[in-house]
Chains A and B, each alone.
Chain A
């Protein structure tokens, strides 16, 4: 390399380093990404409602992820404290935010969506917007943040009910994808909530949180879900439900999750040997 060219190259490198340094100086410590892929274990529980209980289920436990019910008309244990959410994140938890709104039109739950698909579609959009506002009020990033809609069992042989549920979820996903977009998920029984029906809607949910209490941790094993659906790190699995566990002296009723899907915030926590893949 000629001397002049070498000097030019060196100056370019120095300039690059200075620019990078300036960027770091101006932004401080890089914030966590608003989502990461977790392949770890998690817990869902209405009982983890204080910082002390969250700490008890965090320290020297196998759990990294926590399902948090952030609101909705059917949320029996909503968590709407920004300070609690911040405490969870600072502790190290990666969050699965869950929105519990109207249930299927043919279900027996008190809060139900319309059986009219057009109306249900709009209701789905409304719920997604409400969850977006809740994320913001909780002090969370809304850029690509995963949000899960809790849709419980319903009569999946009732075509009117199924079509309304599909329209509702289509509205849920459509609204969530409006910039600044969120990653839109659906929780439900892999069979009883008809999750497979949502694989073919457009837009389809970005990921699912499938409940099948068979004790099998692998997210690939989901009854009623095609092996070809949601294959690109798009599955949480709730593999055990409704039992008591004691960690650090605190006993709570919990459900267990294994993940291969987005959580809030990042970074990625990949293949830690916990059997979720």
Chain B
């Protein structure tokens, strides 16, 4: 089993362990080796954010100063995802392979209810999104080789109490507009964009014109006509602002859109709660002795100046060999 060891980074930077000392229900004990990888994190409002590991959901209500572990009824594992639409209402999904459990909270993580969704194929990744309190989508990536991109889509109209299977053109990341329109970014090469206005029955594939080629690691539903997409070319990640000159047939990384936001090195997930406040999840691997003594450092980093500078909030080190 891989071992994750929280690191103390120095004055002013908090680790998950130190941040949770003294919290009776934190579930994160000082000095405890965290045995599973950091999967994702997001800043939802400038104060509220979440961190997802393979066995924990950690919540902060002070912008990352302190974290507490939520008691979410989910199986442990690497295929997990979370989405909070505000500081109160959120969903976390996880799978043990074929059964997907979706937990939901309406009180900021204090209490949870859950529903299960069955898949006919082994699931290896999840993405969940909501456009409001009731309409949501759950995209379940089938375990395939990298040469394929296949997923099952499930939709809900009652806030996640029940789910119905729809269709999905590819695996990837899903988001939902308030009117229920779905957005999906993914595909084998990670460079495909799809939308559906009927909750996933039919999909259209608009043309996509990025300023620089890359994979789209996530897409947010449009706000004021601008789609935010996380784009990576392997060496740099940015939040690209896409606009459409033709009613949605084409989406272009436009020079007239707001400035793209840069993410720190190694970032694979980036979220902004405002124009200035955001989080990035990053990783960096290194071996000290050829192919021995290897480790991966995962971090959640925060910016308060729109991505100009980043500061580490939490860090895990996974010892590989």
B125: CB under 8 A from chain A? Answer: yes
Contact between A246 and B266, CB atoms less than 8 A apart: yes
Give the distance in Å from the alpha carbon of A252 to the alpha carbon of B234 in the complex. Answer: 6
Contact between A242 and B294, CB atoms less than 8 A apart: no
Query: Which residues of A from 34 to 55 have beta carbons under 8 Å from B?
Result: 40, 44-47, 53
In the complex, what residues of B have CB within 8 A of residue A249's CB? Answer: 235, 265-266
Contact between A62 and B124, CB atoms less than 8 A apart: no
In the complex, what residues of B have CB within 8 A of residue A250's CB? Answer: 234-235
| Stretch from A1-9, A10-18, A136-144, A187-195 contacting the other chain | A187-195
Contact between B290 and A192, CB atoms less than 8 A apart: no
| Stretch from B85-93, B144-152, B309-317 contacting the other chain | B144-152
Interface readout for B251-284 with A: 1 if CB under 8 Å, 0 if not? 0000000000000011110000000000000111
Contact between B143 and A213, CB atoms less than 8 A apart: yes
A74: CB under 8 A from chain B? Answer: yes
Given A244-B268, A251-B234, are A62 and B320 also a contact pair (CB < 8 Å)?
yes
In the complex, what residues of A have CB within 8 A of residue B190's CB? Answer: 253
| Contact among B79, B143, B268 with A251 in the assembled complex (CB-CB below 8 Å) | B268
In the complex, what residues of A have CB within 8 A of residue B268's CB? Answer: 244, 246, 251
Q: Which residue of A lies closest to B289 (CB)?
A: A60
B296: CB under 8 A from chain A? Answer: yes
| Contact among A47, A243, A272 with B234 in the assembled complex (CB-CB below 8 Å) | A47
A274: CB under 8 A from chain B? Answer: yes
Q: Which residue of B lies closest to A107 (CB)?
A: B150
- A44, A64, A189 — which one has the most chain B CB atoms within 10 A of its CB? A189
Contact between B121 and A192, CB atoms less than 8 A apart: yes
Give the distance in Å from the alpha carbon of A243 to the alpha carbon of B265 in the complex. Answer: 16
Q: Shortest Cβ distance from A228 into chain B, in angstroms?
A: 23
* Total residue contacts A-B, CB cutoff 8 A: 135
Contact between B79 and A213, CB atoms less than 8 A apart: yes
B237: CB under 8 A from chain A? Answer: yes
Given A150-B145, A152-B145, A245-B285, are A253 and B215 also a contact pair (CB < 8 Å)?
yes
Query: Which residues of A from 144 to 199 have beta carbons under 8 Å from B?
Result: 150, 152-153, 155, 187, 189, 191-192
In the complex, what residues of B have CB within 8 A of residue A153's CB? Answer: 121-122, 142-144
Contact between B78 and A150, CB atoms less than 8 A apart: no
In the complex, what residues of B have CB within 8 A of residue A187's CB? Answer: 145
In the complex, what residues of B have CB within 8 A of residue A243's CB? Answer: 37, 78
Query: Which residues of B from 116 to 150 have beta carbons under 8 Å from A?
Result: 120-122, 124-125, 141-150
A264: CB under 8 A from chain B? Answer: no
Q: Shortest Cβ distance from A141 into chain B, in angstroms?
A: 24
Query: Which residues of A from 230 to 253 have beta carbons under 8 Å from B?
Result: 238, 240-247, 249-253
Q: Which residue of B lies closest to A53 (CB)?
A: B234
Q: Which residue of A lies closest to B54 (CB)?
A: A215
Query: Which residues of B from 147 to 192 have beta carbons under 8 Å from A?
Result: 147-150, 171, 188-190
Give the distance in Å from the alpha carbon of A149 to the alpha carbon of B127 in the complex. Answer: 29
13 contacts between A and B (CB under 8 A): A46-B146, A47-B215, A61-B287, A62-B285, A67-B146, A98-B145, A98-B147, A108-B150, A152-B145, A240-B78, A242-B171, A245-B285, A251-B266
